[in-house]
Amino acid sequence: MSRIVIIGGSGHVGSYLIPRLIARGHVVLNVSRGKATPYRPHPAWNEVENVLIDRAAEEARGRFGHMIADLGPEIVVDMIAFDLASTQLLVEALRDRIEHFLFCSTIWVYGRLVSVPSTEGDLPTPIDTYGRNKAEIESWLLQQAQLNGFPATCFRPGHIVGEGWMPINPLGNLNPAVFSLIASGDELLLPNLGLEMLHHVHADDVAHWIVQAIDHRAASMGEVFNTVSAQAVNLRGYAEAAYRWFGKEPRLGYKPFEEWILGLAGYDAELSRAHIIRSSCHSIAKSRERIAYSPRYSSLDAIHESVRALVANGQLSSIEREVPLVLSSSSRSTEQRRNVEQQWLAGNAPHQ
């Protein structure tokens, strides 16, 4: 078995990944900047060595990569890299010292799709800074793999969901009031005909993907993979399913997108626009064929589990809408609302 360092392993995916790795007999070190509590308690965490390192601070001192290398890993999984310079410093410190390096990218390296489902053969066409930075890291890592033999694998998760996590909702944002509106049986307005798509993935399926990539490293090194559920879901089908979860008949209305988006405000509008203009739908054929990836959860099953957990934990009202769908002038400022919404985000990922 291997000595594995996970950078950012206390997050949502890590909460599932670390128990999987421990169960397989690996020695696991979790690097984080604080004593973050995993989303799901598990006895395996008693066998993990937690290493406290502030990545940003140590990168500024030029020490982060060497600190990771000094932990003696055979495999490194980097869940929280967001710019090329950061990855380059880490890789240079690890070069010729590790057997496998896995980089968490994003489906947002894709912009507006031409054909669906998109495949890894489609060129990245990112349309925002986050996607461009991830695509830049991917490109450099794949180049290092091809030219210098660096054992890199890149994976692109979709909209991550699971217990304790607010899912991207049928409007393409993170406002919990959307599910409260649905639970109350009120009408939900969708853009256009509601046929734009979202592509979720359960955090445990991402963890499963990483384990499969490690087990099939010869087939995964030097490659990039989509890491999503088997099928995307459109806004209309998602909304209809959500009504039925709460025992309600769907009540949907529709407006042209540019008119519809005016009904949202601040970060809700920003995030909805970002998801809807991408209309994500991605193939996992390569992951199935190369590393025997077989996701357990459909998109709707993953979301449903997340919603049930939020209701059970009192994080989501199924009776009253506690957060307005549209911010009035008397509501908290857009910047304050942005801060509230960003508490649901992991690792700067606007969709995860």
Let me know if residue 215 belongs to a domain: yes
Distance CA 39, CA 346 (A): 12
Number of domains within the chain = 2
| 135-166 as b/e: b if 16+ CB within 10 A | bbbbebbbebbeeeebbbbbbbbbbbbbbbbb
121: CATH: 3.40.50.720
| Residues 30-49 pLDDT 10s | 999 886 677 788 899 899 99
Residue 323 has pLDDT above 60, yes or no: no
| DSSP 3-state of 234 | strand
Question: In this predicted structure, what is the pLDDT of residue 325?
Answer: 52
Whether residues 105 and 244 share a domain: the answer is: no
Let me know if residue 321 belongs to a domain: yes
Let me know if residue 23 belongs to a domain: yes
Let me know if residue 118 belongs to a domain: yes
For the chain, the straight-line distance linking the first and the last C-alpha, in angstroms and rounded, comes to: 30
Whether residues 265 and 311 share a domain: the answer is: yes
Distance CA 51, CA 101 (A): 18
> Do the beta carbons of residue 340 and residue 173 sit within 8 Å?
no
Four-residue CA torsion sign, 204, 210, 215, 220: positive
Q: What is the mean pLDDT of residues 143-161?
A: 98
Distance CA 26, CA 6 (A): 12
Let me know if residue 39 belongs to a domain: yes
Residue 147 has pLDDT above 80, yes or no: yes
Residue 343 has pLDDT above 70, yes or no: no
| 74-107 as b/e: b if 16+ CB within 10 A | ebbbbbbbbebebbbbbbebbbeebebbbbbbbb
Let me know if residue 74 belongs to a domain: yes
CB burial of residue 334 (10 Å; 0-12, 13-18, 19+): middle
Whether residues 7 and 67 share a domain: the answer is: yes
Residues whose CB falls within 8 Å of the CB of residue 116, separated by 6 or more in sequence, listed in order: 197, 232, 281
Q: What is the mean pLDDT of residues 245-264?
A: 98
| DSSP 3-state of 324 | coil
> Do the beta carbons of residue 173 and residue 267 sit within 8 Å?
yes
pLDDT top residue among 314 and 110 = 110
In DSSP terms, which residues pair with 101 in a beta bridge? 76, 152
| Residues 209-228 pLDDT 10s | 999 999 999 999 999 999 99
Whether residues 51 and 101 share a domain: the answer is: yes
Question: In this predicted structure, what is the pLDDT of residue 36?
Answer: 64
Nearest-10 Cα torsion for 304, 176, 8, 17: -10
Confidence of residue 252 (pLDDT cuts 50, 70, 90): very high
Whether residues 186 and 212 share a domain: the answer is: no
Q: What is the mean pLDDT of residues 8-33?
A: 95
Whether residues 108 and 130 share a domain: the answer is: yes
Whether residues 33 and 91 share a domain: the answer is: yes
pLDDT top residue among 196 and 316 = 196
As given in the structure block, the two tokens for residue 177 are: 């009031």
Whether residues 44 and 70 share a domain: the answer is: yes
Whether residues 261 and 223 share a domain: the answer is: no
Let me know if residue 21 belongs to a domain: yes
Whether residues 57 and 136 share a domain: the answer is: yes
Whether residues 205 and 99 share a domain: the answer is: yes
Q: What is the mean pLDDT of residues 187-207?
A: 98
| Residues 70-88 pLDDT 10s | 999 999 999 999 999 999 9
Domain region containing 274? 160-200+230-280+297-342
Let me know if residue 86 belongs to a domain: yes
Residue 142 has pLDDT above 80, yes or no: yes
Whether residues 178 and 135 share a domain: the answer is: no
Q: What are phi and psi of 157, to 5 degrees?
A: -70, 155
Question: In this predicted structure, what is the pLDDT of residue 317?
Answer: 61
> Do the beta carbons of residue 200 and residue 302 sit within 8 Å?
yes
Question: In this predicted structure, what is the pLDDT of residue 144?
Answer: 98
